[in-house]
Structure 1
Amino acid sequence: MTKRNVGVLLVGHGTRDSIGTEQFFQLAELLKRQLPSIPVEPCLLEFQSPSIAEGWDRLGRQRVTDVRVAPLLLFAAGHAKSDIPGLVQQCQATTPGVSFSFARPISRHPAIIELVCDRLQHSIDAMERPAERMALVMVGRGSYDPCAQADMRVLSEIVANRLAVTNRATAFYAMAEPRLPRVLKQIATSITARQSGESILVHPHLLFEGRLFHAIAQQVDEVRDQFPDVTIHLSQYLGPDRQVAQAIAGRLELSKQDETP
């Protein structure tokens, strides 16, 4: 059997935010450390370079004949199911000797769950409040795809159970219900009425810095202004972390037989 030279095409969504773009490339370097014997080429779906076609060509120049496409997406929605596959198929049509396969989005990979819990535990420790005095709101970007919405809700339940937080909710920034401002107002109103003294911890389930993170932070600030007696804390997004790279590598399911060109 002819050996196939394996390479990884890491596909990010792309952002106009310079910090978010830099964080994507930082993560690509972490993935390269996870996979030292396999070529890894980062590329972006939109807004920034290199494009998917440029990343594909770079792997070709390294004699890669088996491209493992890793969509850097938290959940499987339109980009993972349609946009990225369509562009990759266009690339493959120009290089018929090169095959490709897709890794699943990192979704609820154990390393992602661990990282979310780490981010939230750091916030809980800083707030100096026990879990029973905390309301957790997990907020996702949102999608019209019902499977992506369900994945976010399941992740929320897993994380809340790990942290022993009983008062929990899932919200979305856009394209799905319930929206973050409504959820925050409902919880803050309940806390105020009960005079429970609970705090609200909001986790923005995003990969990098960018417009979405700042928009979510603004929504949190607006609810803070409306409920000055309720402490609302915004935790950190995932960022270019070793555990994100570990999740990507795990989804690729590479074996020892995968060859370096």
Structure 2
Amino acid sequence: MSVVLEQQDLQLNRSYDAYFLVVHGSQDLHSWLVLQELIECANAIGDVVVGGGCLEGQPSSLSQQIQDFCAEICEEIYEQGDTEDINVAVVPLFLLSGVHVMADLPSEVAIARQKLIGSFAHLDRQITLEIVPHLGTHPDIPALLKSIFEMETSSLKEQFEHTNIGLILLSHGSRRPEAVQSIENLASQLGAIAAHWTGTPTLDAQIEQSIAQGRDSIVVMPYFLFAGEIMNAIAKQISLYADRIPIYIAPIPFSPAQIADMAIDLVN
């Protein structure tokens, strides 16, 4: 088997025989369990085999996880008597085009490609790895976030008669200016202001700005794929303002089923 070294990733120019979902990962077992749930959801959508791996937090590197997945599906397809070449879509489950998406992931995929060359020559088969657009590019995301903000603000208006509600879209943050700007643009679409857990403007700065503007309450939407320890940290930080302004944390906007559905939709 040979491996095609794609010169231009992020281009949907073929049909795929398998999808490999990539999440950030962590030392926490919960991250791995969430990935398994995503894989299960994605496998239930169609007839294309789906696997996945973590960029961080696993005993083996992402490149090795990709190699293991390719070996497994290649043998499986070969045993089924299929003689066609195999195209694998590597799907980045990230909301921002940060360093992980633009540098770390392509580097790991490049390593996997190189190491796969000649590994399965006995099968006389060509396998292609191609990175597709990251999840944050899905066109339905703005409307989904807007609907959640509207639901939260409607509840506050009905229960507490709040009329001057500040909206904050809280992202993880990135060292890449382009990624930061994308969050600023998204927040603007939603009638919100952007804050970043790592980077500026910070959540504290945006809360203070909202207070200075005379807001009577604030809704913070965590723009993350998964709930984790970071949610506890956000709640703790927000609690410091309890005697100054009511601040409400909206739910994580994505369920595993939604993430899987959007990921497959992007590939197709």
CA apart distance, 1:248: 1.2
User: Residue 218 of structure 2 aligns to which amino acid in structure 1?
Assistant: I
Alpha carbons 1:17, 1:210 under 8 Å: kept: no
Tell me the distance in 2 between the aligned counterparts of 1:214 and 1:112.
24
Query: Residue 33 of structure 2: which of 22, 26, 29 is its match?
Result: 22
Offset at 1:169?
1.2
Listed as ranges, the matches of 1:59-98 within 5 Å are 59-63=70-74, 65-96=86-117, 97-98=126-127
Give 3-state SS (helix, strand or coil) of 1:87's partner: helix
- 2:232 paired with 1:232: no
Shift in Å, 1:131: 8.6
Amino acid at match of 1:146: P
Aligned residues: 234
Which residue of structure 2 lines up, in the alignment, with residue 190 of structure 1? 213
- Structure index of larger Rg: 2
Cα separation, 1, equivalents of 2:36 and 2:143? 22
Asked if 1:54 corresponds to 2:77, the answer is no
* TM-score where L is the length of structure 1: 0.80
Whether the 8 Å CA contact 1:43–1:51 is kept in 2: the answer is no
Distance 2:103 2:61 in 1: 16
User: Contact 1:8 / 1:70 at 8 angstroms: preserved in 2?
Assistant: yes
Partner of 1:177: 200
Does structure 1 residue 117 correspond to structure 2 residue 146?
yes
Q: Which amino acid aligns with 1:45?
A: L
Task: Give deviations 1:200-219, integer Å, cap 9, x for gaps.
Answer: 00011011122333222222
Q: Which residue of 2 aligns with 1:136?
A: 167
> The residue matched to 2:213 in structure 1 has which SS?
helix
Aligned equivalent of 1:165 = none
Query: In 2 relative to 1, CA 220–5 (structure 1 residues): closer, same or farther, beyond 3 Å?
Result: closer
Contact 1:17 1:209 in 2 (8 A): no
**Secondary structure of 1:127's aligned partner:** helix
Q: TM-score, normalised by structure 2?
A: 0.78
Deviations 1:152-174 (A, max 9, x none): 111112223xxxxxxx3111111
Partner of 1:259: none
Q: 2:183 corresponds to which residue?
A: 152
Q: Deviations over 1:132-183 (max 9, x none)?
A: 53110111111110110011111112223xxxxxxx3111111x31111111
Gaps of 5+ in 2: 1-13, 78-85, 118-125
What is aligned with 1:39? 49
Tell me if 1:218 matches 2:233: no
Q: Secondary structure at the match of 1:142?
A: coil
* Helix, strand or coil at the partner of 1:73: coil
Q: Residues 49 and 180 from structure 1, CA distance in 2 versus in 1: closer, same or farther, beyond 3 angstroms?
A: same
Matched, 1:102 2:134: no
Q: What percentage of residue pairs aligned between the two structures are identical?
A: 22
Q: Structure 1: state its 5+ residue gaps.
A: 161-167, 255-261
State the secondary structure of the residue aligned to 2:95: coil
Distance 1:114 1:19 in 2: 29
Assess if the C-alpha contact under 8 Å between 2:67 and 2:116 holds in 1.
no
| Alpha-carbon distance, 1:108 to partner | 4.1
- Secondary structure, aligned partner of 1:209: coil
1:195-243 alpha-carbon deviations (Å, 9 max, x no partner): x6x2100011011122333222222122234x1xx21101111343433
